[in-house]
Amino acid sequence: KRVLVLNGPNLNLLGTREPGTYGAETLKDIEALCHVAAEELGLSLDFRQSNYEGELVTWIQDARKTADGILINPAAYSHTSVAIHDALRAVNLPVAEVHLTNIHQREAFRHHSYVSSVAFGVICGFGTLGYRLALMALADKLK
Ligand code: DQA
């Protein structure tokens, strides 16, 4: 089964971005750990990042033809994007939402995610391990 892994804005800066909050690992490190997990789980992966809402929307739409499930860390768009919510709803694929940080422990504006209501599960606060956990959940869902 094929999983599209989508990362939203500013996640390209992981490693140097607020390391006290987000840790020292880079997006490349996350990509590598996802590939290790996918291999173990028998999944094929397409790992992407964009700072553009519309590009993420287009990739979600394209997933209808190219993926069986989606892992998404929508980053700041979690809290703002009806367009990403609508795209995820439209494609009708299982969605696992991941946040590195515990968004409920942070500023009030991070407490709500437009993506959570279209995801079958949400993982937050476990750092990069969340990506592995979400891939495990997707593998289970898709078997
Ligand atoms: C994040 C949490 C969001 O609130 C924030 O805007 C991010 C990253 C996380 O992974 O913890 O960019 O999605």
- DSSP code string of 90-139: HHT--EEEEESS-GGGS-GGGS--SSGGG-SEEEESSTTHHHHHHHHHHH
The band of 95, judged by pLDDT with boundaries at 50, 70 and 90, is very high
pLDDT class of 120 with cuts at 50, 70, 90: very high
Q: 0.95 cut: is pTM over it?
A: yes
- Does residue 26's CB lie within 6 angstroms of at least one atom of ligand 1? no
Judge whether 1 and 96 are in contact, CB under 8 Å. no
By most ligand atoms within 8 Å of CB, the mutation choice from 10, 12, 56, 99 for ligand 1 is 99
Sheet of 95-99: strand order equals: 44-49, 2-7, 69-73, 95-99, 121-124
Q: How large is the average pLDDT for residues 81-91?
A: 98
Please give the Cα distance from 138 to 132 (Å, whole number): 10
Q: Which of 39, 40, 18, 16 is nearest to 28 (CA)?
A: 16
- The mean pLDDT value for 92-102 works out to 98
Ligand 1 atom 1: residue of nearest CA: 75
Residue of 32, 64, 65 lying closest to 47 (CA atoms): 32
* Three-class SS state of 79: helix
pLDDT of residue 141: 98
All structural domains of the chain: 2-142 (3.40.50.9100)
Q: What percentage of the chain exceeds 90 in pLDDT?
A: 97
Asked whether this complex has an ipTM greater than 0.95, the answer is: yes
Instruction: Respond yes or no: is residue 99 known to be catalytic.
Output: yes
114 is catalytic: no
